[in-house]
Amino acid sequence: MSDLPVVEVLSTEAAEVNASVIWLHGLGADGNDFVPVVPQLNLPQEYAVRFVFPTAPSIPVTINNGYVMPAWYDILRLDNVRSIDEAGLRESAANTQALIRRELDRSIASERVILAGFSQGGAVCFEAGLSFDRRLGGIIALSTYFPTADSIAMQPVQQGLPALVCHGLMDPMVPELLGRAAKESLEENGLTPEYHTYPMAHEVCMPEIERIGRWIRSVLGS
């Protein structure tokens, strides 16, 4: 059982919850960061989705001079390779998988659980989602990278899993080439991800949010 604090938001109060999106924030943020996005997704009433926004533990972050902040794992060096605490990332992935199981215990089918993550959160979602032992609904990866692509214990049940990968063309924190590399790694692992770029920095934009809403509808409506 995950002991991560979470914020929960329902896409509608009009129907019994029938799907879940577990959405992980980026470095230094918290579970409230993406709450305002939920109404902007414009999900129809019949898509009664529970959005689960966990907050990462506060730990010292090496690239920020050891400053303590919410982080899914430590980042040791910031470059196009990314030196990270892989054990810490996997611990966060295990906590995320515990949140998935919590949704299953709340009568949500695994195929209707979507993982979403921004930056660090997206890296954790790749590890957590692709190594989970039951088929999921999909992964949304925003302005992120795939640091465990070469070491992940990929579960065959996730072959062909839908994935939406979005990145800013002017991202100074996570260069767009890392987003493209993540997309290629997903393809090598048997997925066929959608990949979209936007004229933005390390952030999200309204056209991207609108696309996420359409993508969620397509996954949950299939």
Question: What CATH number does residue 34 fall under?
Answer: 3.40.50.1820
- Looking at residue 161, the DSSP 8-state letter turns out to be -
pLDDT of 80 reads 61
Residue 154 within any structural domain of the chain: yes
Domain membership of residue 93 (yes or no) is: yes
Q: How far is CA 60 from CA 3, 28, 63, 88, in A?
A: 19, 11, 9, 12
Catalytic residues: 119, 171, 202
- Calculate the CA dihedral of residues 197, 200, 201, 202 and round it to 10 degrees: -60
Domain range for 118: 6-220
Is 99 a member of any domain?
Answer: yes
Q: How far apart are CA 152 and CA 138, in angstroms?
A: 17
Q: Structural domain tally of the chain?
A: 1
Q: Is residue 1 part of a domain?
A: no
Q: Is 175 inside a domain boundary? A: yes
CA torsion sign for 18, 146, 135, 164 is positive
Question: Is residue 91 included in any domain, yes or no?
Answer: yes
pLDDT for residue 222: 57
Gyration radius from the chain CA atoms: 16
pTM: 0.97
In a domain, 73, yes or no: yes
Residue 193's pLDDT is what? 97
Q: What is the mean pLDDT of each run of 10 residues along the chain (222 residues)?
A: 89 90 98 98 94 98 95 86 88 98 97 98 98 98 96 96 98 96 96 97 98 97 74
Decide if 49 is inside a domain.
yes
What residues contact residue 84 under an 8 Å CB cut-off, 6+ apart? 73, 74, 75, 76, 123, 147
* pLDDT value at residue 81: 59
DSSP letter at 110 equals G
Among 113, 118, 122, CA closest to 158: 113
Amino acid 127 reads E
Residue in the block written with tokens 């924030």 = 25
Query: What beta strand segments (E) does the chain contain?
Result: 6-10, 19-24, 49-54, 58-61, 67-70, 75-77, 83-84, 113-118, 138-142, 163-168, 194-198
